Structure 1
Amino acid sequence: MPVGQPPVPARPHLPLNALRSFEAAARRLSFTQAGEELGVSQVAISRQVKALEQWLGTPLFIRGTREVRLTPEGARLLPPVRQALDLLALAAGQVSRRERRNVLSIQAYTTFAQRWLIPRLTRFHERHPDIEVRLTASVSPVDFEHQDVDAAVRSGDGSGWPGLETDFLTPIALLPVASSTLLKRRKGKLPAEALSGMTLLHSLARPNDWEIWLQANGAEQVVDSRKGLKFESSALAYEAALQGSGVAMGIQVLVEGYLTSGALVSPFGQAVRRPGGYYLVRPRHRPVSTAMRRFRDWILAELGAAETGG
Structure 2
Amino acid sequence: MVNQPLPLNAIHAFLVTARHLNLTRAADELCLTQGAVSRKIATLEQWLGFALFERHARGLHLTVRGALLLPQLKQGYELMQSATDQARQPDDVLRLRAPSCSMRWLLPKLVQLEQQYTDLHVKLTTILAPNEQLENFDAAIVYGNAPPGSHPLFEEQLTPVLAKTLLDDKPLTVADLANFTFLHATNDERDWQLWLHAQKVELAMRRNQHFTTMDLAIGAAIQGFGVAMADITLVKSDLAAQRLIAPFDAAVKTGAAYSLISREGKETPPHLATLVAWLCQPD
Common topology (TM > 0.5): yes
- The TM-score normalised by the length of structure 2 is 0.64
User: Which residue number corresponds to residue 237 of structure 2?
Assistant: 257
2 CA distance for matches of 1:286 and 1:218? 53
Residue 205 of structure 1 contacts residue 234 of structure 1 at CA under 8 Å; is this kept in 2? no
Residue of structure 2 aligned with 1:230, choices 190, 197, 210? 210
Provide the rounded CA distance (Å) in 2 between the counterparts of 1:291 and 1:232: 33
Over the residues paired in the alignment, what is the CA RMSD in angstroms?
A: 3.1
1:21-51 CA-partner distances (Å, limit 9, x unpaired): xxxxxxxxxxxx99876549xxxxxxxxxxx
Q: How far is 1:137 from its partner?
A: 1.2
- SS of residue paired to 1:258: helix
TM superposition score normalised by structure 1: 0.59
- How far apart, CA to CA, are the structure 2 residues paired with 1:285 and 1:267? 47
Deviation at 1:227, TM superposition (A): 5.1
Equivalent position of 1:178 in the other structure: 162
Report if the CA contact (8 A) 2:158-2:229 is conserved: yes
Contact 2:195 2:252 in 1 (8 A): yes
Alignment partner for residue 100 of structure 2, among 93, 97, 110?
Answer: 110
CA 175–34 in structure 1, closer or farther in 2 if over 3 Å, else same: same
Question: SS of the residue aligned with 1:249?
Answer: strand
- Per the alignment, residue 213 of structure 1 pairs with 195
Distance in 2 between the 1:269 and 1:295 partners? 33
Q: 1: distance between equivalents of 2:220 and 2:228?
A: 8
Q: Which runs of 5+ in 1 are unaligned?
A: 1-32, 41-88
2:121 is matched with which residue? 132
Identity of aligned residues (%): 28
What is the alpha-carbon distance in structure 2 between the residues aligned to residue 202 and residue 39 of structure 1? 41
Contact 2:99 2:130 in 1 (8 A): no
Equivalent position to 1:298, from 272, 278, 283: 278
Distance 1:102 1:120 in 2: 18
2:183 partner letter: L
Instruction: Give the secondary structure class of the aligned counterpart of 1:107.
Output: strand
**What number of residue pairs does the alignment pair up?**
208
The partner residue of 2:137 within 131, 141, 149 is 149
Shift, 1:122, TM fit:
2.2
- Gapped runs of 5+ residues in structure 2? 1-70
How far off its partner does 1:191 sit? 3.3
Q: Does 1:169 align with 2:153?
A: yes
Query: SS state of the match for residue 150, structure 2?
Result: strand
The within-5 A match list for 1:1-310 is: 39=77, 100=90, 102-113=92-103, 115-142=104-131, 144=133, 147-158=135-146, 161=147, 165-187=149-171, 190-204=172-186, 207-219=189-201, 221-224=202-205, 228-268=208-248, 270-283=250-263, 287-301=267-281, 304=282, 306=283
Q: CA deviation at 1:277?
A: 1.3
Q: Does the 8 Å contact 2:98/2:130 carry over to 1?
A: no
